[in-house]
Amino acid sequence: MKYKTIILTLAAASFFVGQAFAQDSPVMTQQEVQAQNRNDENRMADAKLDRKETKAKAKEARRIENEANDAARESKNALKAERRAQKSRKQADQQAKKASNARDKANKN
C-alpha cells in the first residue's frame, strides 16, 4: 500500500510538471511583432550611434594624448637645454675667474 501511494504521487507530480512545461507560449499578434521589430530597430540604431560617439571620443582622446606627449617631449628638451646652458654659464664664469686671476698675477709681476 505504501509503495502504491508513492508511485501514484510520483505519477501525478510528473503529469502536472509535464503539463506545465508542455504549455505553448502565447502567439504574438502581427501588431506585437511590428512593435517588437520597431523596438529592435530602435535599439540597433541607438547601439550604432553609441558606437559612433565612442569612436569619436576615442579619436579625440588619442589626439589629446598625442598633444600631451608632444608637450612632455618639448618640456624634456627644454629642461636639457636649460641644464646645458647653466653648465656653459658656470664654465664661462670659471674661465672668466681664471682669466682674472691670471691678469692679477701678470700685473703683480
pLDDT at 59: 97
Contact 79, 87 (CB under 8 A): no
Read off the pTM.
0.51
Q: Look at 2-6, 14-18, 49-53 and tell me which has the smallest mean pLDDT.
A: 14-18
Which DSSP symbol is given to 51? Answer: H
Query: Where on the phi/psi map is residue 58: left (φ > 0), alpha (ψ -120 to 50), or beta?
Result: alpha
What are the pLDDT digits (tens) for 30-74?
Answer: 889 999 999 999 999 999 999 999 999 999 999 999 999 999 999
Cell numbers for 49: 550611434
Tell me the pLDDT tens digit for each residue of 73-92. Answer: 999 999 999 999 999 999 99
24 pLDDT higher than 90? no
DSSP helix/strand/coil, 11: helix
Residue 16 predicted with pLDDT over 90? no
Burial class (CB in 10 A: 0-12, 13-18, 19+), 22: exposed
Whether 68 and 76 have beta carbons less than 8 Å apart is answered as: no
Which residue would you say has higher pLDDT here, 95 or 12? 95
Residue ranges covered by each domain of the chain: 43-109
